[in-house]
A and B are shown apart, each in its own frame.
Chain A
Amino acid sequence: MTPAMKRIARNSLLALASQTILVLGAFADGPRSADGHPDFSGTYNIATVTPVQRPRVFGDNLLLSPEAADRMVAEAQARKVAGQQDSDPNRGAPPAGGDGSSGAAGNVGGYNSFWIDNGDTAFTIDGKFRTSIITSPKNGRRPELTADGKRRAAERRAFYRENRGDAWWLEVEGPGPYDGPESRTLSDRCLLGFGSTGGPPMFPVLYNNLKRIVQTPTHVMILVEMVHDARIVRLDSEHPPQSVRKWLGDSIGWFEDDTLVIETTNFSDRPALSMATRDLKVTERFTRVDDTTLLYSFVVEDPNTWTAPWGGEYPWPATEERVYEYACHEGNYAMEGILKGARILEAEAMTDSD
């Protein structure tokens, strides 16, 4: 093992310890506001290598052995170290036709790993490692989609079919995925962060996993670094009429003993949570479990989409790091490139058909 790898391993063990929390009930000695409630104000870094959804190989097994967790962290570190190895200075262009990368990297790859900041550690609760953030249902996975959910999922896959250079959308009835900004995803448009980073519920993502909570006697604000989403929670309030709809939903909160409960409804037609509808209801809970850690839990209900409610939990460790501005549309050349590229393909297709 090189000195660099040893240092990374040592740092990772230290970080691992910092993500280890004990939940034997709320931690009563933490800071409190003047009204006597726990004060959750602070900055938190929620990055973790523990996945949101449990890999099927674990079945109903919620817990991960310490040995297995160590290996998971070591593998994550090794992957990052591998990504930092030198490249061939005499390398040529990548393969024509694409490099085979999947997901948002869409067959063209993304960018070097030094831009990625998705955590180096697995978390524990009650001293035990977890196989997933989702804990309910028992298999740690989102429940089956309803019939309507399946129909919408299929439509979505068809609509966002990749632009492979043939302007295929000209042959399809109705709006196309590259018609204009409104047809693009909310993250393309810099309206909401990807991966439900702002939620609710709020999940760890590829980078910019910092959250800042500011608590007053009447409100709790949760600033999400990605796309600078700011969730404003009104304490001891009521939701507005159903006609009022918001990108992040309408959040009200209250304390149950030392736990802050947040209920969010009144979503727009496209909540940040993938596949959810305007009827989504999310209930979140924050509890302090030690001097520097909150436990965040959530329950998702959307009978239009999932056949049962689902939920989970994971720790929010405090950090000395700062939340930076993420002025998403400031340099969003991607939108221009995506739309202009589609216009060029359309013009070529029209010319070819003449």
Chain B
Amino acid sequence: MFIKYFLILSGLILISATAGRASAHHAFGAEFDPNRPLILRGPVTRVEWVNPHAWIHMEVTKEDGSKENWMVEGGTPNTLLRRGLTRNSLTPGTVIIVDGYQSKDRSNRANGRDVTFTDGSKIFMGSSGTGAPSDGRDPTERQ
């Protein structure tokens, strides 16, 4: 019985998760180029807290020492706002790492497939007390 339910639930969850992924605001596959993967490291310069998707601006230093400004696409800010987070939660100067794919228009835009701090921890996590998802790094969660 346990195995039966496990299999059934796995199917249910898979379908539910897939349905969710298939229902983003717009098709990321139409916007970003799978043949242009990239990893970006650098400080945040500003955050555009706009719908339908927020954009994190950052400065990236290239190998030759020159600097480029990049924009990274996230999700709707409404979700974070509801959790008590604002555009000021990610302050300019904070160094982040982004992996994603460049926009098909070849501009300096990318999807924020994974956006983290330099230690690999997720940005916007660990904000205990705001209702945000927790990751155990906040001391108040270690009681």
Which of A33-41, A114-122, A250-258 is near enough to bind chain B?
A114-122
* Inter-chain contacts of B55 with A (CB < 8 A): 331, 333
* Inter-chain contacts of B3 with A (CB < 8 A): none
Q: Give chain B nearest CB distance to A124 CB in angstroms.
A: 16
Cross-chain contact B23 with A337 (CB below 8 angstroms): no
* Inter-chain contacts of A101 with B (CB < 8 A): 21
* Inter-chain contacts of B7 with A (CB < 8 A): 57
Q: A7-B141, A96-B35, A107-B34 are in contact. Are A208 and B76 (CB under 8 A)?
A: yes
Taken together as a complex, chains A and B put the C-alpha atoms of A205 and B52 apart, in Å, by 14
Partner of A89, one of B6, B78, B100, B116: B116
Partner of B99, one of A57, A94, A165: A94
Q: A98-B34, A111-B112 are in contact. Are A163 and B97 (CB under 8 A)?
A: no
Cross-chain contact B28 with A331 (CB below 8 angstroms): no
A13 at the interface (CB under 8 A from B): no
Q: Give chain B nearest CB distance to A41 CB in angstroms.
A: 21
Closest to B111 in A: A108
A99 at the interface (CB under 8 A from B): yes
Q: How large is the interface on A (under 10, 10 to 19, 20 to 34, 35 or more residues)?
A: 35 or more
Within 8 A of A (CB), among B89-140: 97, 99-101, 103-107, 109, 111-116, 118-125, 132-136
Q: How large is the interface on B (under 10, 10 to 19, 20 to 34, 35 or more residues)?
A: 35 or more
Cross-chain contact A225 with B78 (CB below 8 angstroms): yes
Partner of A110, one of B28, B34, B97: B28
Digit string of A312-354 for contact with B (CB within 8 Å is 1, else 0)? 0000000001101111101111111110111011000000000
Taken together as a complex, chains A and B put the C-alpha atoms of A219 and B138 apart, in Å, by 48
Taken together as a complex, chains A and B put the C-alpha atoms of A7 and B129 apart, in Å, by 12
Taken together as a complex, chains A and B put the C-alpha atoms of A76 and B78 apart, in Å, by 21
Partner of B101, one of A58, A108, A162, A330: A108
Taken together as a complex, chains A and B put the C-alpha atoms of A8 and B71 apart, in Å, by 33
Q: A55-B8, A79-B13 are in contact. Are A91 and B30 (CB under 8 A)?
A: no
Closest to A205 in B: B23
* Inter-chain contacts of B21 with A (CB < 8 A): 101-105, 110, 206
Q: A92-B39, A103-B21, A112-B112 are in contact. Are A75 and B122 (CB under 8 A)?
A: no
Q: A88-B120, A341-B106 are in contact. Are A187 and B25 (CB under 8 A)?
A: yes
Cross-chain contact B12 with A109 (CB below 8 angstroms): no
Taken together as a complex, chains A and B put the C-alpha atoms of A94 and B120 apart, in Å, by 15
Partner of B18, one of A102, A190, A345: A102
Q: Give chain A nearest CB distance to B45 CB in angstroms.
A: 16
B46 at the interface (CB under 8 A from A): no
Closest to B37 in A: A93
Q: A52-B19, A65-B5, A102-B21 are in contact. Are A93 and B38 (CB under 8 A)?
A: yes
A302 at the interface (CB under 8 A from B): no
Q: Give chain B nearest CB distance to A209 CB in angstroms.
A: 10
A123 at the interface (CB under 8 A from B): no
Q: A94-B113, A108-B34 are in contact. Are A328 and B82 (CB under 8 A)?
A: no
Cross-chain contact A4 with B30 (CB below 8 angstroms): no
Taken together as a complex, chains A and B put the C-alpha atoms of A57 and B74 apart, in Å, by 35
Q: List chain A positions with a Cβ less than 8 A from chain B.
A: 2-5, 7-8, 49-53, 55-58, 65, 67-68, 71-72, 75-76, 79-81, 84-89, 91-99, 101-118, 131, 162-165, 178, 184-185, 187-188, 190, 194-195, 205-208, 225, 227, 321-322, 324-328, 330-338, 340-342, 344-345
* 9 contacting pairs across A/B (C-beta < 8 A): A49-B13, A96-B35, A104-B29, A107-B34, A109-B28, A109-B114, A111-B115, A165-B35, A337-B103
